[in-house]
């Protein structure tokens, strides 16, 4: 049997990621591969750092993309900052907080969990109690934008509180970066990681990270070597660090970095504040349409993420059948519920390039047709107009 080239059907990606990648970024990915130590490539790396500093709103020297997806950015933060025996307070209000706990434990640390109901923001009072109960804690970790539920936590307030108790802060900004307000320097976040495939709308496979001086100092003064060779920042910095010799560490994913560079250039052209505002505005339009259909949001209005909308599945509707029909008949992907919310919600992403009026109308119309076709009790024929009314 001869296998021929793989040519995926173009889809509209409105799930929890990856999000739609623009033709401009796809074109950048197809540019000629050059050596990862080529002087042209090295100049591109310097620009990459500046562009990421722009996106994170930071001046941190230690800002670069880890050569692996968001999960590797998470692991980079924990592997470098947590030493055996260190106590880390992990706030969990969804799937990704659970992964943070797993990271702490595998680094030999002790995870103290602060648990909140899924769909709620992290409770600041509960974190304060945990900090009082654990004066020996070294780090506080939380997820800014919980993609599993669509809830946003107050990263500024949580960081300020952790600092009052002299803890370092690790923030998961995989879904928040470029989608909602995030100010690494103003808020004093010590270590942060993100991903390329959510609101940056580049392909998956890279994880922008940033560490401030305080975090860099802690890493420099480690008593034990970082257990992971690949993620050990003291080694990675020989390649990515400022003034570094660009010594070979691993072969950088050259073309994928072209894609990220282009997506960050696009972000800079739009202006990051404008990107935040666009996500907020589009969310209100989607929300009007979703509510007109008769579906509900599971997250309280004040804590809702614009870029990830978790909505209830109407009674008696077959979750998987609806998603399959959307994919097969409309080439539209929306997300299923994860963990505790599996089978209970759909997660509709409005991320980056895909966060636009056309996608919203397309999705509302498809949902309306599919649900009506299955005999679900929804209000048919009103959703698109309700959304459009918010966009004029
Ligand atoms: C997607 C996501 C991750 C993991 O990113 P990958 O690129 O899938 O490894 C981590 N945290 C949050 C909040 C996410 O949404």
Taking the C-alpha atoms of residue 154 and residue 145, their distance in angstroms, rounded to an integer, is: 9
Q: For the chain, how many residues are written?
A: 392
CB 364 within 8 A of CB 384: yes
Q: What is the pLDDT of residue 28?
A: 98
pTM for this predicted structure: 0.97
- Which stretches of the chain drop beneath a pLDDT of 50? none
| Parallel/antiparallel/unpaired status of strands 151-152 and 139-143 | unpaired
Judged by phi (left if over 0) then psi (alpha if -120 to 50, else beta), residue 28 lies in alpha
The CATH code belonging to domain 272-391 is 3.90.1150.10
Q: What is the CA(68)–ligand 1 centre distance, in A?
A: 11
Ligand 1: residue whose CA is nearest its atom 12: 174
Q: What is the pLDDT of residue 246?
A: 85
Tokens at residue 310, please? 């978790």
Q: Which residues line ligand 1 (CB under 6 A)?
A: 17, 69-71, 74, 96, 143, 147, 172, 174-175, 195, 197, 204
Q: What is the pLDDT of residue 238?
A: 83
Taking the C-alpha atoms of residue 223 and residue 209, their distance in angstroms, rounded to an integer, is: 23
Mutate to test the pocket of ligand 1, among 15, 19, 66, 71 (most ligand atoms within 8 A of CB): 71
Would you call 5 helix, strand, or coil by DSSP?
coil
User: How far out from the chain centre does Cα 2 lie?
Assistant: 39
Q: Tell me, what DSSP letter sits at residue 356?
A: S
Edge-first strand order for the sheet with 87-92 is: 62-66, 207-211, 191-193, 168-172, 139-143, 87-92, 110-115
The CATH code belonging to domain 23-269 is 3.40.640.10
* Residue extents of the structural domains in the chain: 23-269, 272-391
CB 197 within 8 A of CB 264: no
- Specify the DSSP element, H or E, that contains 326: helix 319-330
Q: What is the pLDDT of residue 230?
A: 96
Taking the C-alpha atoms of residue 308 and residue 147, their distance in angstroms, rounded to an integer, is: 6
């Amino acid at each position: 049997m001869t296998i021929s080239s793989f040519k995926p059907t173009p889809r509209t990606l409105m799930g929890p990621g990856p999000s739609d990648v623009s033709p401009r970024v796809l074109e950048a990915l197809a540019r000629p591969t050059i050596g990862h130590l080529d002087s042209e490539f090295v100049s591109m790396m310097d620009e990459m750092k500046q562009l990421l500093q722009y996106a994170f709103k930071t001046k941190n020297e230690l800002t670069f993309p880890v050569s692996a997806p968001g999960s590797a950015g998470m692991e980079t933060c924990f592997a470098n900052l947590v030493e055996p025996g260190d106590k880390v307070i992990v706030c969990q209000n969804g799937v990704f907080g659970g992964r943070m706990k797993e990271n702490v434990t595998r680094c030999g640390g002790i995870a103290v969990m602060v648990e909140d109901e899924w769909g709620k923001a992290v409770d600041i009072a509960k974190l304060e109690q945990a900090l009082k109960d654990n004066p020996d804690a070294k780090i506080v970790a939380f997820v800014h934008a919980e993609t599993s539920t669509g809830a946003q936590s107050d990263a500024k307030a949580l960081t300020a509180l952790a600092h009052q108790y002299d803890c370092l802060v690790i923030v998961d900004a995989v879904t928040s970066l470029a989608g909602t307000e995030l100010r690494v320097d103003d808020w004093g976040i010590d270590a942060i990681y993100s991903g390329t495939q959510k609101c940056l709308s580049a392909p998956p496979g890279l994880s922008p990270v940033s560490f401030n001086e305080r975090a860099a100092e802690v890493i420099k003064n480690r008593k034990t070597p970082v257990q992971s060779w690949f993620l050990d920042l003291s080694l990675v910095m020989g390649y990515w660090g400022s003034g570094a010799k660009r010594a070979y560490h691993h072969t950088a994913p050259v073309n994928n970095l072209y894609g990220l560079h282009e997506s960050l250039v696009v972000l800079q052209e739009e202006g990051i504040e404008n990107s935040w505002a666009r996500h907020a505005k589009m969310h209100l339009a989607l929300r009007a349409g979703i509510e007109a259909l008769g579906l509900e949001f599971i997250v309280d209005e004040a804590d809702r993420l614009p870029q990830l909308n978790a909505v209830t599945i109407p009674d008696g509707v077959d979750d998987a059948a609806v998603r399959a029909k959307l994919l097969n008949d409309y080439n539209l992907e929306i997300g299923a519920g994860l963990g505790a919310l599996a089978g209970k919600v759909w997660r509709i992403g409005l991320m980056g390039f895909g966060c636009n009026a056309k996608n919203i109308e397309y999705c509302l119309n498809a949902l309306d047709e599919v649900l009506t076709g299955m005999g679900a009790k929804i209000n048919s024929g009103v959703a698109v107009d309700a959304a459009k009314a918010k966009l004029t």
